Amino acid sequence: MSAAFNIMTIIAVSAGAFFFFAGTIGLLRFPDTLTRLHALTKADNLGLGFVVLGLLLQAPSIRDGLKLVAVWLLVLLAGATVSQLIARIARQDGASG
């Protein structure tokens, strides 16, 4: 049982790491702010989601599991808001010059 959990954790966390990696490449390689933002937020949300999913399987108690989910939700919320703000500024800058 725990071996299966461990394997699933490894798979999920690796998938998460892959998405982070892809997102970072997008951040570095994409041409403008909006596409970079797109790469970053999309990949990071998924990536973190996978990491949290993987870790959930290892959580010692329900309480710790809930904390992990809370972390994920908070990061989603903050990430979404901040990328909105950045995108808005980028659009304004783009419009004015």
Partner 1 sequence: MTIASTYEVALAMIVLGLAAWIITAQKSFAAAGGFVAYGLLLPLVWVRLGGIDVALAEAAIGGGLSGVLLLGAAARLGTTETAVVAERPGVLVRLLASVLSAFIALSLAAVVLLLPDPGPTLAPAAVENSAATGLGNPVTNVLMAFRAMDTLLEKVVLLLALIGIWSLVPDRFWGGRPGMRHEADPRGVLAFLARLLPPLGIVIGLYVLWVGADHPGGAFQGGTILAAMWLLVMMAGLMDAPPISRRWLRLTLIAGPGIFLVVGLGGLWLGNAFLAYPSAYAKPLIVAIELAMTLTVAATLGLLMAGVPERRA
Give the residues lining the site for partner 1 (CB under 8 A).
74, 77-78, 81, 84-85, 88
* Residue with smaller CB distance to partner 1, 1 or 62: 62
* Residue with smaller CB distance to partner 1, 7 or 78: 78
* Distance in angstroms (rounded) separating the CA atoms of residues 45 and 24: 13
* Residue with smaller CB distance to partner 1, 11 or 89: 89
The nearest distance, CB 82 to partner 1, in angstroms, is 9
